[in-house]
Structure 1
Amino acid sequence: MAGHLPGQLTAGYLPAVPRLRPRWRHRVNADARKPLWRSTAWWIAAAVAARNLNGQRQVRRTLAWADRPAPTGDRRSAFPLVLHVVIPVLREQQQIPAALSWFVPLLRNFPGSTLTMVTTAREEAERQHLAAKLAGATAADLTVERFPQLTDDELAALGKALPGTIDGSLTGALAAEVLSSFPTTAEVVTAELARLPEPHRMVRHVHYRGDGRKAAQVNAAVDQLSTAGADQEYIAVYDVDSRPSRELLDRTADFLAHRQANDGGLPCVVQQSARFATQNTAGTWWERSLCRGAARAQTLWTLRREIPNLRRYADAARRPHATPRLPGLAQTVGHGLLVRMDVFRQVGGLPTFTVLDDVAFGYRLTVDGIPVDSLPFTTTVPAAEYLRELLAQSERWFQSYLDYPQCAARWHAEGHGSSRDHAAALTIGAYRGMAWLLVSPATAGCLALALGPRTRLPTRAAAATALWAATVAPVRALAAAEGRHLTVRETAVRSAETLAGLLLKSAGPLTALGRWAVTGTRHAALAPKSNRRTAPSTTTDREFA
């Protein structure tokens, strides 16, 4: 037989050639053969599904507890509710007349109650800062997106001043001159109080002279209130666009009477939790839909997280011997916050050393073991109407979670709470902040797993369950609680809007962290807010589901 060289082909003989497979397909097949309990995708989908199912359970429990129909007959409560309503205002000239028109008649029904509008000298400093930022601005720069702190009238006046400039751009001096032609919020409050048909001793105007923000304004107003009846009267903190109804205050009086009968004393702190509603003012359909979905997602957070957490905390705080550890973490909100006057002074008022005050105030109440009761009746507040406003609001709210370490350091040094209490509070706060950060990635991951063509059936089922419990189930539960029957199309539309809101929910927190990392500070020269350009909502507006 003739010899042949190695590798040389001969008749009837072909060397075996290995069959090559793409590496990604090999990994997919390997994952398919892997036991389910070793699959990362399965555990992620199962964890998100478990959290969302528990959230849906809390939504149903809250809806069964809150906003029950009022008893028939006269709704006037026999409890003498006395509220000292404090409304801090900054760059909110256009909101003052409507706020006075709402609160003055409302509080007449509750003898002894007062209304304090708190303006601040910070507005003049911020106006100067805005004038400096406007230096060099052209007509194209004078937009709401770039200067959300300015009203439409102020932007129009600045635009009219441009033709008189040399190069078609504003100078700082010219911008300051234009802005100074508009009255400050303090001047508007003074003028509106003078227009009241008769003198009202119940209405006051306090002008805060410092450079603090909302918390400092509220504290300055409370400092000027009489201490008589401090253990029977409440400080009520509202925003200028808040519209608490007579029914809400009657329900609050009933709740206080009920707690007094059960506990032998009035509650220390009561939180009026809020639902969120938009008025569909955005110019495009997608922005209207996105903001509606975000408002609905925030309402669901109130029902599945805020109210249940407050109820658990209040129950545990009233049984300190049964719960030797820290009984949770109260998360108060600076809208619809009622604090008994003696308690407000006992804790030193709202904290002024943090970026925001509401969640930090809850931290202080927690380490002091002061219960915070959730009112079983929700109010309605305006939600963001535009994407830029939505992102800015979310970024601003997340600052509260970043304040927790500062709260722990300050109050532990002052002797409030033990080291174990602060460690537990920080752990809970970190968990809640991380949960917020992961809402969008978790939702997006479940969506990808549910739609992925190569996802294993158990993982696909877990991901689909997570999405259903976060969108479809709560949408239908909200509608059922309001006595509505949704069609299949309505359910699909509202569920898709809610899904979009969840996919965007983590954008604000990520922006807050990114801005902090880049700038090295979370404090800004301008207060983190913008002028609202829509009318406030009322308690009876229930377009949530």
Structure 2
Amino acid sequence: MLHVVVPVLREQQHIADALAWFVPLVRSFPGSTLTLVTTAREERERRYLAARLAGATAADLTVERFPQLSGDELAALGEALADSGSLTGAVAAQVLSGFPTTADIVAAELAQLPESAPMVRHVHYQGDGRKAAQVNAAVEQLVSTGQEHIAVYDVDSRPSRELLERTAEFMSQHGELPCVVQQSARFATQGTAGSWWERSLCRGAARAQTLWTLRREIPNLRQHADAARRPRTRPGLAQTVGHGLLIRADVFGQVGGLPTFTVLDDVAFGYRLTLDRIPVDSLPFTTTVPAAEHLSELLSQSERWFQSYLDYPKCAASWHAEGHGSRTDHAVALAIGAYRGMAWLLVSPATAACLALAFGPRTRLPVRAAATAALWAATVGPVRALVVAEGRPLTVRATAVQSAETLAGLLLKSVGPLTALGRWAVTGTRHSALAPKSNRRTTQSTTTDREFA
């Protein structure tokens, strides 16, 4: 039995598709439920956006300037600007109020579902918290025996029935139901960007993120789970991901739900699990999820994800004050988190340095050979390995193109983290009036499963 929880914010365009996917899926697992969690924060953010739109010109009404708005909202604001000659906060608020909120869409869609209750529910969170608070609010209203799993997905997630059946089979092999299960993902774009260079860049970044999943995320989770089950062995640091995360209901209550005091919740949740030596089991197969399709979305996503690493000190201070974990536990976790964050920050500089050494006219032969080997190991080797694992043919030209795309993705990988650090240094805070996410513009992909060793 699964209690699927999907927190939504500014997701009007995706509710119908999500319900069309999840409702039949949940019905195929008797006793399972689906909860869509909207939030009153959306209305407050809409008022804030209206104030920011005051004085905007036609040139300002772009996705880059206002990524939180949908294309239809930007078009309507442009028409209002053309009619009135200037855009005031009142006019912007009036235009935006003409669009239904996500809560309105969810209520309307559920009203059309036959026999929707009690399997499909809508919870409207009234607080000011973000995704973690929405999930916690939904779980508080669940009737559970403690042995079901809370399954957290994004609105554009598309877990297949086969994936859930194989996940259930994996769980049954443990005897006792596992505490936490992570469904790791590979990333793929749909090629919706208008320019070839942007499509290539986003493909390369998606491939680089997939490599991180296979090389870092999954091995780290396996090491953590093995160590957490062994007495007198430090479990390292679990790094959970906020979609495709299955948490046993009693464990969810034991750790107090998802953390709400951090900017993001997924990596911080892994920190909390580590303190209680709760293993996170990684599935022996991956799924495919949508990746960023545009450069602005890619950079925004990377900046948003890096916030989790900046939250580690706050996690240590908060949970140590509550008596969770020893000083040594926190010191080890902080050291691992610092190493991972620094490794991310150095990806682009290290790649650029290797390029300079490999093609520099004054580079000595041994250094040139070492730099070239490093570039090969970071791009060509992984590209070929991925293709072999997926059973696809790869020509020499395709190898060169995909390797170049991956190289570009690596050169760009540290930009988001550096932006996050710079913004924090300039503003003095990492919290903002708007939730750190864009209005989703990616094409949703279907899920396919891949085995891996």
Normalising by the smaller structure, the TM-score range is over 0.9
CA-to-aligned-CA distance 1:85-126 (integer Å, 9 cap, x gap): 000000110110000000000111110110000000000000
Structure 2 match to 1:148: 67
Between the aligned partners of 1:357 and 1:120, the Cα distance in structure 2 is 17
C-alpha contact 1:114 1:203 (8 A) present in aligned 2: yes
Query: Which residues of 2 match residues 40-55 of structure 1 at below 5 A?
Result: none
TM-aligned CA deviation for residue 156 of structure 1: 1.1
Within the alignment, does 1:170 sit opposite 2:81 as a pair?
Answer: no
> Which of 306, 313, 333 in structure 1 is aligned with 2:224?
313
RMSD: 1.0
> Which of 518, 537, 540 in structure 1 is aligned with 2:426?
518
Gaps of 5+ in 1: 1-81
SS in structure 1 of the partner of residue 163 of structure 2: helix
C-alpha contact 2:383 2:402 (8 A) present in aligned 1: yes
Query: Which residues of 2 match residues 393-412 of structure 1 at below 5 A?
Result: 393-412=301-320
C-alpha contact 1:251 1:377 (8 A) present in aligned 2: no
Between the aligned partners of 1:119 and 1:485, the Cα distance in structure 2 is 44
Structure 2 match to 1:238: 153
Structure 1 match to 2:371: 463
Query: Which residues of 2 match residues 384-533 of structure 1 at below 5 A?
Result: 384-533=292-441
TM-aligned CA deviation for residue 541 of structure 1: 8.6
C-alpha contact 1:248 1:377 (8 A) present in aligned 2: no
Which shows bigger deviation, 498-507 or 194-203?
194-203
CA-to-aligned-CA distance 1:62-94 (integer Å, 9 cap, x gap): xxxxxxxxxxxxxxxxxxxx1100000001101
C-alpha contact 1:119 1:186 (8 A) present in aligned 2: yes
Between the aligned partners of 2:254 and 2:62, the Cα distance in structure 1 is 45
Could you tell me the TM-score, scaled by structure 2's length? 0.98
C-alpha contact 1:360 1:400 (8 A) present in aligned 2: yes
Structure 2 match to 1:38: none
C-alpha contact 2:9 2:38 (8 A) present in aligned 1: yes
Within the alignment, does 1:180 sit opposite 2:91 as a pair?
Answer: no
Between the aligned partners of 1:294 and 1:169, the Cα distance in structure 2 is 39
C-alpha contact 1:255 1:375 (8 A) present in aligned 2: yes
C-alpha contact 1:440 1:504 (8 A) present in aligned 2: yes
371 and 541 in structure 1: CA distance in 2 versus 1, 3 angstrom threshold: closer
C-alpha contact 2:189 2:292 (8 A) present in aligned 1: yes
Within the alignment, does 1:205 sit opposite 2:122 as a pair?
Answer: yes
SS in structure 2 of the partner of residue 243 of structure 1: coil
SS in structure 2 of the partner of residue 259 of structure 1: coil
Between the aligned partners of 1:472 and 1:155, the Cα distance in structure 2 is 41
SS in structure 1 of the partner of residue 447 of structure 2: coil
CA-to-aligned-CA distance 1:351-399 (integer Å, 9 cap, x gap): 0000000000000000111101101121111100000000000000000
Between the aligned partners of 1:472 and 1:199, the Cα distance in structure 2 is 50
Between the aligned partners of 1:481 and 1:105, the Cα distance in structure 2 is 31
TM-aligned CA deviation for residue 540 of structure 1: 2.4
C-alpha contact 2:182 2:283 (8 A) present in aligned 1: yes
Structure 1 match to 2:211: 300
Structure 2 match to 1:257: 172
Could you tell me the TM-score, scaled by structure 1's length? 0.82
C-alpha contact 2:285 2:449 (8 A) present in aligned 1: no
Between the aligned partners of 1:239 and 1:530, the Cα distance in structure 2 is 13
Give the total of aligned pairs: 450
Query: Which residues of 2 match residues 109-128 of structure 1 at below 5 A?
Result: 109-128=28-47
Between the aligned partners of 1:316 and 1:163, the Cα distance in structure 2 is 63
Query: Which residues of 2 match residues 363-374 of structure 1 at below 5 A?
Result: 363-374=271-282
Between the aligned partners of 1:343 and 1:288, the Cα distance in structure 2 is 41
Matched-pair identity in % = 82
C-alpha contact 2:292 2:442 (8 A) present in aligned 1: no
Which shows bigger deviation, 452-461 or 117-126?
452-461
Between the aligned partners of 2:82 and 2:313, the Cα distance in structure 1 is 51
Between the aligned partners of 2:144 and 2:188, the Cα distance in structure 1 is 37
C-alpha contact 2:5 2:138 (8 A) present in aligned 1: yes
SS in structure 1 of the partner of residue 334 of structure 2: helix
Between the aligned partners of 1:309 and 1:123, the Cα distance in structure 2 is 36
TM-aligned CA deviation for residue 471 of structure 1: 0.4
Between the aligned partners of 1:510 and 1:177, the Cα distance in structure 2 is 37
C-alpha contact 2:39 2:103 (8 A) present in aligned 1: yes
